[in-house]
Structure 1
Amino acid sequence: MKKLFILCIAATMFACKQDPKIDYALFSGKIENPTDKTVIVFDGREKVKEMVLSENGTFADTLKIESGYYTLRHGKESSTIYLDPENDIDMTLNTKSFDETLKYSGKGSENNNYLAAKFLADEKSNIDYAKTFALDEADFLKAVNDIKNSKQELLNNAKNISDQFRALEQKNTEYEYLANLQNYKSYHHYYAKKAMYKPSEDFNKIINNVDYNNAEDYAILGSYKRLALSHYSNKIGDSDNPKEVFEDINQNTFPALKDDLAKKMIYEISPNNEHNEAYYNGLMALSSDEDFKNQLTTKFNTVNKLSKGKPSPKFTDYENHKGGTTSLDDLMGKYVYIDVWATWCGPCIREIPSLKEVEKQFHNKNIEFVSVSIDNDAAHDKWVTMVKEKELGGIQLIADNDWNSKFVKDYAIQGIPRFILIDPEGKIVNADAPRPSDPKLVELFIELKI
């Protein structure tokens, strides 16, 4: 009897023992006409796994993951995927028609086939966002509601996707809609040329009643993360007392948001920001990243040297498209308007027609128009060709070490296009001057009696 009792206990213990929790997914596939040797899965910017393709374009591996959205990248193409532990997914695609041929099979495939279909639907809808954001408020609301409803219909018709994934996609649809509302004011200013526009009280109620402090959604959904970061950065930018706003954010939001917000807003430390000190102190308080704080301090100290009336940093012996080299000292005696650009920069290229108009208006005046390309060595020939094909005027130069050129670093340039105005004595007038497409540029030139 005693032996039987012991056996029963042992059997009970064995039955109650839990199987180890599976924390990985199986992921395999085949790529036709591969453009790279690898397939990489990212969690945000962190690499989860790099898988090497075999000679016939196949790959297979295990991915240690938690449930959530990831990015699949092959060559220059990428796609959003959703993975759960215990998934066993096989992917096929042909790079000659990447989005149209991307297919999944196996356990977890339904969620990912939905994401692929959603991307294609967005692509085929071919929405003209410039025209949409130029619409008056009532028409804009109708347009973005139509966009939201079409996405909702696609989700409603999706079959066999998991309940958890469906709930997340429902949130994504809502957050993407709210992001459009959030962006309307600034985009409408730009596309409709209505700088004085202010949203109605009812419009503001929609976006002001959102919970922007949801740590759970922030960790999972990129759409919510972008929404929350934009909300807080706009709140700081719209305030006459940013110090107070920074203190409120620091006290009432969670660490991940604060760190990300600090990194997003380092670009606001700029020569034209009258609140640079408040921004610097606020961002330092938000961040827990010591490397970032060192970077921020370096930029803040650099920007402080770029105020109006201070001697301009110089470039020396930059290659001139017409031959020889040119230095900033060669141009002294006239105002110098510098356009920092690159052949790969879409916004830079969109400024070219406006720049030509301004050059024409101030031809033979006391000003030199200088374009400094920061293309790297590999794009040198492309720069030479583009200058010819687009018949660019002024003085066309290329920097000596692209982003790492001393002039670029001395002007704290972290994004382009960037425009700089220097006076005939070599002193800074504006280290972040208006763009050619901005009427304020011509107003400034007239004010200076150029």
Structure 2
Amino acid sequence: MKRLIIVLFVISITACKQEPKIDYAILSGKVENTKATNALLNSVDYKREIAIKEDGTFTDTLQIPENGFYSLSIGREFTPLYLSAGDNLNVTIDAKKFDETVTYSGEGSVENNYLAAKTLNNSKATANAVEFYSMEEDAFKTKLSEIKTKNEVLLNGLTNANEDFLATEKQNLVYDNYSMLNNYVQRHGYYTKKEGFEVSEDFIPEDLKNMVYDNAKAYKSSSSYKNMAFDHALTKIFDSLGDDISTVSPEDLKDVTEIKIPALKNDVIDYLGSFLVSPGNENMEAVYNFFVSNSTNDDTKKMLTETFDKNKDLVKGKPSPQFVNYENHKGGEMSLSDLKGKYVYVDVWATWCGPCIREIPSLKEVEKKFHNENIEFVSTSIDQAKDHDKWVAMVNDKELGGIQLMADKDWKSQFVQEYAIQGIPRFILIDPNGNIVSADAPRPSNPKLIELLEEELKMQP
């Protein structure tokens, strides 16, 4: 009998040793009042789409790369999450009152109900941004102290919470405070219409003034730290670049290589690549190669390559993509080929585009200046067909000059697609032979347009 007990004890130990380690978390839930078909769980180095059924329920087993902070997005709304291996977390949300209704149950709910409550506290306090950032400095700091204290009470009241979560979130509350102080510096003058406003010398704490953004964990754990680090990196880069990005080269982007946090470097490259890997930049290929060699994110590299492949045939001297049989506001139809023999300055715009409309007065001035030159000014609306009458009316009401056309398939028009246009207004200059001068020409409000047109038009025989 004694021998049998020993054998059973050994078997028991062996069985314990063979028990598999749990390296996943289960996330389930239900979303009311949503048309979204997917939820997105992501962090700086993780992304997972979770299907939402017709009844609003969802569930997934997640092989998360590490315990830590994530974000759950449904439609345009999102909420922070803290996930650990072994969690079995359930969330219920009413999409019509998103922050107010986020509620968790199950393993992992303690940390996440706190995060939901903190998010609601912060969103209520800052709901009226004009009122919030218009407060005078002392009142603003008092309000920030109240917000921080309220969230600290919530945090300190948690029981059985993950120790790493508690320590990290304690620091995150400091970053939240710092982020709102930074926002005040940027927004108070704007909201109060105080031109040239500057905060008092002691408004920003020394720790914030001297912060070095090299904490990769904080970049994952705190959206406030992430936003501050991103803003700090871009401010330094743009201070170096200046206003003219038409000649940006890798040498001008050395600050990118000095970014210490890999995920931050990837985010900065992703942002800069969207407009520096452009035919409007004469060093596009060199910048593309620089970004690819400095990025460690496969999605970013893929985006850069797709952008470069779209734009490499849009450099100066290449044949321009064509538009064919676009409706002319004055009647009939017009194609780009009808204008061969003249320079063509194309304005891609829409009636709903505020920045486009703000360019109209400047465009009229440019048209007037070059009225007798060998150039046509073509405005191509990419309004949807349902807004055709709105386009007709705006052309009449604003007395728009030049040639006013309407694209055949709005954003999906071949001309728009082949010029890789993702935002408007977009301006394009084409030479008399139908070749590209600039696929991303200066706006009418930019004095560089006058310089470019004068230079090009003097080249005519």
Per the normalisation by structure 1, the TM-score is: 0.69
Tell me if structure 1 keeps the 8 A contact 2:175–2:222.
no
The residue type paired with residue 318 of structure 1 is Y
Q: Name the counterpart of 2:245.
A: none
Q: How many angstroms apart in 1 are the aligned matches of 2:279 and 2:346?
A: 15
Q: Name the counterpart of 1:351.
A: 355
Higher mean displacement: 206-215 or 184-193: 184-193
Pairing partner for 2:271 from 252, 259, 264: 264
Tell me if structure 2 keeps the 8 A contact 1:337–1:421.
yes
**Structure 1 pair 420–192 and aligned structure 2 pair: CA distance change class (3 A):** farther
Pairing partner for 1:158 from 105, 130, 154: 154
Tell me if structure 1 keeps the 8 A contact 2:29–2:58.
yes
The residue type paired with residue 384 of structure 1 is H
Q: Name the counterpart of 1:79.
A: 79
Q: Name the counterpart of 1:280.
A: 288
Does residue 428 of structure 2 align to residue 417 of structure 1? no
**Structure 1 pair 293–99 and aligned structure 2 pair: CA distance change class (3 A):** closer
Q: Name the counterpart of 1:380.
A: 385
The residue type paired with residue 265 of structure 1 is L
Once the two structures are superposed, the pairs formed by residues 234-383 of structure 1 within 5 Å of their partners are 234-239=235-240, 243-244=250-251, 246=253, 249-250=256-257, 253=260, 255-266=262-273, 267-271=275-279, 273=281, 276=284, 279-287=287-295, 289=298, 291-292=302-303, 294-295=305-306, 297-298=308-309, 301-302=312-313, 304-305=315-316, 314-320=322-328, 324-330=332-338, 338-341=346-349, 349-358=353-362, 366=371, 370-374=378-382, 379-381=384-386, 383=387
Q: How many angstroms apart in 2 are the aligned matches of 1:12 and 1:29?
A: 37
The residue type paired with residue 219 of structure 2 is Y
Q: Deviations over 1:160-210 (max 9, x none)?
A: 454543444444455456667778999899999999999999979876733
**Structure 1 pair 48–300 and aligned structure 2 pair: CA distance change class (3 A):** closer
Once the two structures are superposed, the pairs formed by residues 32-71 of structure 1 within 5 Å of their partners are 32-36=32-36, 38-44=37-43, 46-54=47-55, 57-65=56-64, 66-71=66-71
**Structure 1 pair 207–157 and aligned structure 2 pair: CA distance change class (3 A):** closer
Q: How many angstroms apart in 2 are the aligned matches of 1:154 and 1:255?
A: 34
- Cα offset for 1:268? 1.7
Q: Name the counterpart of 1:21.
A: 21
Higher mean displacement: 331-340 or 220-229: 331-340
**Structure 1 pair 397–168 and aligned structure 2 pair: CA distance change class (3 A):** farther
The residue type paired with residue 350 of structure 1 is G
Q: Deviations over 1:4-27 (max 9, x none)?
A: 895597278359738543333344
- Cα offset for 1:286? 0.8
Tell me if structure 1 keeps the 8 A contact 2:152–2:170.
no
Q: Determine helix, strand or coil for the equivalent of 1:305.
A: coil
Q: Determine helix, strand or coil for the equivalent of 1:80.
A: strand
Q: Deviations over 1:3-50 (max 9, x none)?
A: 3895597278359738543333344434444434x4524224722532
Q: How many angstroms apart in 1 are the aligned matches of 2:350 and 2:417?
A: 16
Does residue 222 of structure 2 align to residue 217 of structure 1? no
Q: Name the counterpart of 2:97.
A: 97
Q: How many angstroms apart in 2 are the aligned matches of 1:173 and 1:318?
A: 56
Q: How many angstroms apart in 2 are the aligned matches of 1:131 and 1:447?
A: 49
The residue type paired with residue 43 of structure 1 is N
Q: How many angstroms apart in 2 are the aligned matches of 1:93 and 1:361?
A: 53
Q: Deviations over 1:260-297 (max 9, x none)?
A: 44332212234554664653342132135464564354
The residue type paired with residue 10 of structure 1 is V
Q: How many angstroms apart in 2 are the aligned matches of 1:274 and 1:143?
A: 50
Higher mean displacement: 383-392 or 21-30: 383-392
Q: Name the counterpart of 1:112.
A: 112
Q: Determine helix, strand or coil for the equivalent of 1:104.
A: strand
Q: How many angstroms apart in 1 are the aligned matches of 2:443 and 2:197?
A: 21
- Cα offset for 1:218? 3.4
Q: Determine helix, strand or coil for the equivalent of 1:17.
A: helix
- Cα offset for 1:156? 1.5
Q: How many angstroms apart in 2 are the aligned matches of 1:243 and 1:85?
A: 42
Tell me if structure 2 keeps the 8 A contact 1:25–1:87.
yes
Tell me if structure 2 keeps the 8 A contact 1:41–1:70.
no
Q: Determine helix, strand or coil for the equivalent of 1:211.
A: coil
- Cα offset for 1:231? 3.7
Tell me if structure 2 keeps the 8 A contact 1:341–1:374.
yes
**Structure 1 pair 92–8 and aligned structure 2 pair: CA distance change class (3 A):** closer
Q: Determine helix, strand or coil for the equivalent of 1:52.
A: coil
- Cα offset for 1:92? 2.9
Tell me if structure 1 keeps the 8 A contact 2:314–2:320.
no
Q: Determine helix, strand or coil for the equivalent of 2:359.
A: helix
Tell me if structure 2 keeps the 8 A contact 1:84–1:108.
yes
Structure 1: segments with no counterpart, 5+ residues: none
- Cα offset for 1:417? 3.2
Percent identity, aligned pairs only, is 41
Per the normalisation by structure 2, the TM-score is: 0.68
